[in-house]
Amino acid sequence: MSYRTSVNGDKFRRFVMRPSIRFHLFKSFELLGGIGLFATWEEADYNTIELRPFQGFRVSWPKIWRMNFDHRFLIEERLIWNNEVTFDANLRFRYRLKSQLPINKAILVEKTLYIPFSYEVYVNVGPQLVEKFRNQGRAMVGLGYVGKDKWVWELEVIFQRSKSTVDDQLELSDRIFRFKAVYNGWVF
């Protein structure tokens, strides 16, 4: 559950749950799938619930100098209900380019300090959704550490472009600070 403030100053709460699965088909190729549940409650009384089944794939290529690049392609089916008893459905394509730059070692191994970074683009397909909050791009940079016994810690800063109403222009709206603890592929 998060408490946030929109571009125009309205406060809202958001609940997000997104279980997913990954299947490694080859060393540098994996299939992805899952479903997201998003619930948003606003002070201004515009509430939404969104189901977001998604599927896609991730390719790890190329390796340039000390960095491996990951390309993630997703298709999301967006099913949105709001308290005005309307229902909207749409598709959205997402593409993310992500990498990590090791600082104190040549590759990511135990006791490595590194800089993770990524950029993600969202493209809506089909009719315009009647949604109040919409992302269009997200950039991330951070600092990570590979510890002992398959533990990885990351502190990330995410800069997100979005808008508060359907007619608004996209602008930098969020600076999200996220701490991740990962053990053997499980994110906490």
Give domain limits for the chain: 2-187
Residue 131 contacts residue 48 (beta carbons within 8 Å): yes
What pLDDT is stored for residue 4 in this prediction?
54
Nearest residue to 185 via CA among 23, 11, 7: 23
**How far apart are alpha carbons 60 and 36 in whole angstroms?**
24
Provide the whole-model pTM. 0.83
| Predicted confidence (pLDDT) per residue in 96-106, tens digit | 999 999 999 99
Nearest residue to 90 via CA among 127, 115, 60: 127
Q: For 139-158, what is the mean pLDDT?
A: 95
| Predicted confidence (pLDDT) per residue in 57-81, tens digit | 999 999 998 999 999 999 999 998 8
Q: What single letter denotes the amino acid at residue 63? A: K
| Predicted confidence (pLDDT) per residue in 8-57, tens digit | 555 668 888 999 999 999 989 999 999 999 998 877 777 889 999 999 99
In the block, tokens 């899952």 appear at: 34
Cα–Cα distances in angstroms (integers) from residue 16 to residues 3, 36, 82, 141, 143, in the given order: 12, 7, 16, 22, 24
